[in-house]
Structure 1
Amino acid sequence: MADSWTFAVARNDLGRTTLVDSAAPTPVDGEALLRVDRVGLTANNVTYAVLGDAMRYWQFFPPEPRGLDGQWGLPPLWGFAEVVASTVEGVEVGQRVYGYLPPAGHLVVRPDRVNATGFRDASAHRAELPSPYNSYRSTTGDPAYRPEQEDLLILFRPLFFTSFMLADQVIDNDFYGVRSLVLSSASSKTAYAAAFELHGRGPRLVGLTSPGNLAFTRSLGCYDEVISYDDIDTLDVVETAYLDLSGAPATRAALRGHLGDRLVRDIAVGLTNQTPNADAAGEVFFAPVQMRKRGQDWGREGLDERFTAAWQRFAPMLSGWLDVRVGDGPEALRDAWLDVLAGRTPPRTGHVVQL
């Protein structure tokens, strides 16, 4: 089998990177080997690294078997992989799957709960980690899959799932009884996908963004109003829920100062500027929690059906909103990582890497 490779970042300095060559692993009984084929890189992946210790993201793909010590981490990616060796019935060579992948040439998995939709990785080191990240969906058993939409799924599926679950939680809570929903980092994919789901269904939607992203964010049509962070003092002083996707302390302070007790909910959704926002917010949104609730309410099939319907409403809009930039090889993955980490990627651009 061809040699493999691993891309890693220093856990204490995400701008310091390394590429390590290695031999491709050989699966033992009960395992399958995936060849990582095509992945995306967004601010979401930087979030995984920033929260690598706090949220255990570093534990999904330990560096040690790959010739790296504990100072290095493998930031998880989303994308497609191909089964190139398997000892497990129902997991066949040539099968294409979508899921959580390392920034590496290969991944050994221990497939469990194998069925027509795919399998879960039951590797011991992943047993205590959030189960949605351990699922690998077979393209042949995935109602949301379309071959021509692979790059959109790579870039948006995990973000859109977060957005879908976030919007669902807001709706499930009757919009918290507010008259205004304010989203920070409104030009980000997660924010505007959530706004797409929420628009026209409840309170007024207001997007906050930087001056340079105002035109793009307004062009999306997902928000009732888009303003600059500098203009927070122009917001109507009405009952408001804040969905914080930026983690910027100054934005939270400005909102609290302007709205006072009319800011009735303050929910940390994620971060894009590497400043953890969970401690300062009133509460934290974590998509797997709402997913588990809806799994109980609707069943797995019901959740899949609703997600697929939402995705099929959303995906056609993306051709006008997104420019996919495709790189080739591990070096392109490193370049894309550094671009996204430094904030050099325009909101219209999505990085996909063919490996």
Structure 2
Amino acid sequence: MADSWTFAVARDDRARTTLVDSPMPAVADGEALLRVDRVGLTANNVTYAVLGEAMRYWEFFPPEPRGLDRQWGLPPLWGFAEVIASTVAGVEAGQRVYGYLPPAGHLVVRPDRVDASGFRDASGHRADLPSPYNAYRSTSGDPAHRAEQEDLLILFRPLFFTSFMLADQIIDNDHYGAQSLVLSSASSKTAYAAACELHGRGPRLIGLTSPGNLAFTRSLGCYDTVLTYDDISALDPVPTVYLDLAGAPATRRALRDHLGDRLVRDIAVGLTQQTPNADAAGQVFFAPVQMRKRSRDWGRDGLDERFTAAWQRFVPVLNKWLAVQVGNGPEALRHAWLDVLAGRTPPRVGHVVQL
């Protein structure tokens, strides 16, 4: 095999994939080379591909330097990498970092704002992309890092951060005056992580899910009520906020028909059905916006402290039921992608790939 490799998916058909050999990237002055070590694959990564054009996710890791044309896209992954070469003071070989990574063997970054917590990639093509995705946290300076929890961080940290910020925005706005919060795709990781943060802190939490996931979702214990999508007519007609993680038009119509003006907020929160839902919703939740607000309110250290406390509350919930499925090598990454894309991964299973 060549010194490195790249996995890519066709932008117009996400089930069409390629795995190509590529040379080891060279490191110029002001740059560092990361070896991608261990990553996760969840519905979140499929979301990045679905919204690759609209939300510019394809731009983080351009295919051209890796010998691929623009029919291909590199869906971003979250995970851990190791610095193997560096020309930047404070970024040393052997340093382990957590962050946004390509589905590839290596990544060249241009570290900036280097401190004990890590650095940001200041590469030119990432300069005007959302800044939270450009941060690389050093494990030695990260209060949320525990070595024994790395797989949980790989699978859940970005999702949980979205959930944490979503719950915080709801609480920050006094639940928009709602008596009920309804979450679609309630068996999804982002939904139930948010529900765990919100449970017992105000309105009733109602999860909507498919019949096949009903028992699992109820077993989580983070919803007051779990219903199937066919049972929307059983909802109490009280002031309600809808947090839409599914993007299913029929669900939105049913809620609007049933609740009328009692539906006080309709908020799109990503998707799991691969159907963009932002246009149909009344409001779109984007975690970096709330994160920037709280960074101003609390400072970066204050945000880190609150996130770490929430994460440690969530870990025992995860440990009760999550089954981590570990694969090895690029081919395992391809298989995990296709399984998640096709919806073949049970909600109790999380895919981690050691590269």
TM-score of the pair, normalised by structure 2: 0.99
User: Aligned equivalents of 1:10 and 1:151: distance in 2?
Assistant: 28
Residues matched between the structures, number: 355
User: Aligned equivalents of 1:293 and 1:89: distance in 2?
Assistant: 31
> Where does residue 172 of structure 2 map in the other structure?
172
> Where does residue 305 of structure 1 map in the other structure?
305
User: Aligned equivalents of 2:148 and 2:325: distance in 1?
Assistant: 16
**Structure 1 portions without partners, runs of 5+:** none
> Where does residue 83 of structure 1 map in the other structure?
83
- Would you say 1:61 and 2:70 are equivalent positions? no
User: Aligned equivalents of 1:169 and 1:118: distance in 2?
Assistant: 27
SS in 2 for 1:221: coil
2:110 maps to amino acid: R
SS in 2 for 1:231: helix
> Where does residue 353 of structure 1 map in the other structure?
353
User: Aligned equivalents of 2:319 and 2:237: distance in 1?
Assistant: 36
Matches within 5 A, 1:159-308: 159-308=159-308
Pair 229,51 (structure 1): closer, same or farther in 2 beyond 3 Å: same
Deviations 1:182-202 (A, max 9, x none): 000000000000000000001
- Would you say 1:108 and 2:113 are equivalent positions? no
> Where does residue 129 of structure 2 map in the other structure?
129
User: Aligned equivalents of 1:78 and 1:213: distance in 2?
Assistant: 26
User: Aligned equivalents of 2:206 and 2:321: distance in 1?
Assistant: 19
8 Å contact from structure 2 (residues 2, 22) kept in 1 = no
> Where does residue 44 of structure 1 map in the other structure?
44
Shift of residue 321, structure 1, vs aligned partner: 2.3
1:206 maps to amino acid: I
> Where does residue 337 of structure 2 map in the other structure?
337
SS in 1 for 2:99: strand
Shift of residue 319, structure 1, vs aligned partner: 1.1
> Where does residue 157 of structure 1 map in the other structure?
157
1:278 maps to amino acid: A
8 Å contact from structure 2 (residues 205, 223) kept in 1 = yes
1:84 maps to amino acid: I
User: Aligned equivalents of 1:2 and 1:137: distance in 2?
Assistant: 29
SS in 2 for 1:26: coil
8 Å contact from structure 2 (residues 4, 24) kept in 1 = yes
1:259 maps to amino acid: L
User: Aligned equivalents of 1:178 and 1:318: distance in 2?
Assistant: 28
Deviations 1:296-346 (A, max 9, x none): 000101000000000011112111121100000000000000000001111
> Where does residue 7 of structure 1 map in the other structure?
7
Deviations 1:109-148 (A, max 9, x none): 0000000000000000000000000000000000000000
Identity of aligned residues (%): 85
User: Aligned equivalents of 1:41 and 1:320: distance in 2?
Assistant: 20
Deviations 1:258-310 (A, max 9, x none): 11111110000010010000000000000000000000000101000000000
User: Aligned equivalents of 1:316 and 1:99: distance in 2?
Assistant: 23
1:73 maps to amino acid: G
Would you identify which runs of 4 or more consecutive aligned residues in structure 1 move more than 4 Å?
A: none
User: Aligned equivalents of 2:50 and 2:114: distance in 1?
Assistant: 32
2:277 maps to amino acid: N
